[in-house]
Amino acid sequence: MKSTITAVFFGATISASIFTPTTNADEAILAGGCFWCMESDFEKLEGVTDVVSGFTGGNTPNPTYNGNHKGHYEAVKITYNGDMLSYEDILDHFWVNIDPFDSEGQFCDKGPSYLSAIFVANEKERAIAEKTKADVVAQFPNQKVVTPILDASTFYPIKGDEIGHQDFYKKSPVRYKFYRWNCGRDQRLEEVWGEKAPGKNKS
């Protein structure tokens, strides 16, 4: 939040911009399996300004992709323009880009680090997340929605020699498309969400 303060010192008027810290209102941390795909899915959403891949949810300090990330989820931190998108908009987009019934991972990627989850920063976000989850549960009364809503914890961005994972779909588009197709992500999304699915033309 930006405000302006004006002060007078020895006859001179000085105006300065003061930036007041805000809450996580314009950020969201979500886990939906492979963070390559989550980056691609959210960076294409109008109003999203940045998506960073990383790890969260575990107790292991400084997790790495090729090293120890036990207990952590592959996740993304999404920064968005609150004048264009609401937190609920972000979550509505999240749900149709995951398989909410998979208790073993997401699509072809199995294991604890590939599970889906919503990480909330405060009670307002929790209430919105619970509402969107209840909407999904109502749409699928005969299936169990397993995606949990968890308290946000430290988010560790990908760094160092693993930075290649950030924006992988842009840096290695052919490899990314090959992976995504063979993983069956879009095929499964269409199976689950039908007309609400983002479609096969994502890259």
Q: Which residues have a catalytic role annotated?
A: 34
| Beta carbons of 27 and 8 less than 8 angstroms apart | no
Instruction: Give CA–CA dist 165/162, Å, rounded.
Output: 6
**Which residue, among 189, 178, 152, 151, has the nearest Cα to 41 in the 3D structure?**
189
Crossing angle of helices 87-95 and 35-43, rounded to 10°: 130
Beta-carbon contacts of residue 106 (< 8 Å; ≥ 6 apart) = 32, 33, 34, 98, 99, 114, 115, 116, 185
Strands of the sheet containing 48-56, edge to edge, are 149-151, 116-120, 27-32, 73-80, 48-56, 156-157
